[in-house]
Every structure is written in structure tokens, then in C-alpha cells.
Amino acid sequence: MLDVLIPIFEKKTGYFVKTIAVGSGQAMAMGEKGEADVLLVHSPDAEKKFIADGFGLNRQLVMHNDFVIVGPAADPAKIKGTKSSAEALKLISNANALFISRGDKSGTHAKEQKLWEKAGIKPVGQKWFQETGLGMGQTLNVAAEKKGYTLADRGTYLSLKKNLGLDILVEGDAALLNIYHVIEVNVDKWPKVNVAGAKAFAEFMISKQTQDVVNTFGIDKFGSPLFFPDAGKKVEDLGK
């Protein structure tokens, strides 16, 4: 989606945007070192800490999509249709069924850790639990190759679906919401931050023009949007 949005932003404002696509944990680590001007992230607890520690300003809600638990059609742990993601993880654990984790401190990894915690399970070190240390696309490919389960954001899954041979087995649980915020890096910590550029990009992300793009992005290719625009809403109202 940024491939669509950034040329619009650059033409409109005259700014040049250098995009560095990393997991949310890495993105915030870069923000803490003053190596970025503005962040688009989806790891709410880590974001709140980032702001509380004084590294970021003006955290604004942009959009959401959701996470899904995907796995082989054979579904050895019999999780298909389970309404609770935590319950599904318990079934995977009880069946000693292979689960592939990103293990990379990304927003997706943070969400997964929270779900294991909710399920009362400590998977690290278990034989059936493997960490890739890789991004979402590569982790999905590993899960496909090994016929394992994994947690994925719906957008990445849909964009790779035809080559994976993995099915969505658990979806729709409120705990699986995937919420994105834009955060400006604090100039008081890093005087070289491009304050005006960061603010312009943040405002662009919540503008009506951008929110309209978010609302339709993906429909032509996948038959449904990959994200839902949320500027001006409250987090507690999402998914209702």
C-alpha cells in the first residue's frame, strides 16, 4: 500500500520518503536511535512504552486489519472454526503440532506472545515450536514447507496465499485485531529529526484522501480490502 501512497505524498508535499520495511520492534529501535523521522507501526504495548520513554510524539490511529491463524488443510490439531485464538493455541500445544513463530520482536511476534500468555502456555523450548527470526512472508513460506501452523496478518497471507497451500483456520476473535498507528520521533531527543516532514507524513496518513485509498486497497486483486481506515476513531470501538 505504501507503494501507492508514497508517490501521492511526495507529489503533494515535495518531500522524498525513504521507506525502511522492518518489524515494529526494529522500527521503534531505529526511532530510539534517531535513525527515523516517523514510524508506521502495529505493536500497541511497545508503542505506548516508546511514547512513555520520550522517544515519540503524537501517536495517531491510522487503520486496522486482523491476524489469522493459518495451517495445513489436514489440520492435525483440529483447530478449524475455533472461536478463541487462545483455545486454538492450547489445541496446537496439546497435539504437539508444529507451530512456526517469527520470533523477531515484530508487532506480529508481540501479538503471538500475548496469545500464548493468554492460553497459559510457554512454547519456547518445546520441540513442536520453532522460531524463524524472519519476516512474515518468509515465515509463511517456512510454515507452508513444513506443514505447520503460524500467526499471520491477513494482508500478507492473502498476497501470498496462492503459492502457500495453507488455509485460514481461526479468525474473527477480537484478540486478533491488528492496529496501526503513526508516530513522530521526538525532536527533543534527536534534534536532526525532520520535524516538518514527519508531521506532514503523519497528517497525510490520517487525511481523507489517504483513508479513502486504505478503504479500497486490495479489493481489485483480492476481492476485499486489506485494511480498514480508522482515523479519528477510538481503539476500543474497532471491530464492533
Query: What are the tens digits of pLDDT across the range 2-49?
Result: 999 999 999 999 999 999 998 888 999 999 999 999 999 998 999 999
Q: Residue holding cell 527533543? A: 188
Considering all CA atoms of the chain, what is the largest pairwise distance in Å, rounded to the nearest integer? 55
Enter the pTM of the model.
0.83
Residue 168's pLDDT is 95
User: Which set of grid coordinates corresponds to residue 31?
Assistant: 526511532
Burial of 223 (0-12, 13-18, 19+ CB in 10 A): exposed
Amino acid letter, 38: V
Where does the pLDDT of residue 224 fall: very low under 50, low under 70, confident under 90, or very high at 90 and above?
confident
- Torsion, Cα of 236, 100, 28, 119 (10° steps): 40
Residue 30's pLDDT is 96
End-to-end CA gap in the chain:
24
Burial of 88 (0-12, 13-18, 19+ CB in 10 A): buried
Section 199-227 average pLDDT: 93
Question: Between these two residues, 105 and 5, which has the higher pLDDT value?
Answer: 5
Q: How far is CA 26 from CA 14, 20, 78, in A?
A: 27, 10, 34
Q: How far is CA 74 from CA 77, 78, 85, 165, 210, in A?
A: 9, 8, 18, 11, 40
Check residue 35 and report its DSSP letter. Answer: -
Q: Indicate if the pLDDT at residue 200 is higher than 90.
A: yes
Sign (positive or negative) of CA dihedral 87, 106, 46, 68: negative
Query: What are the tens digits of pLDDT across the range 121-180?
Result: 999 999 999 999 999 999 999 999 999 999 999 988 988 988 899 999 999 888 999 899
Amino acid letter, 7: P
User: Which set of grid coordinates corresponds to residue 4?
Assistant: 501507492
Burial of 159 (0-12, 13-18, 19+ CB in 10 A): middle
- CA 86/CA 114 separation, integer angstroms: 9
Query: What are the tens digits of pLDDT across the range 106-134?
Result: 889 999 999 999 999 999 999 999 999 99
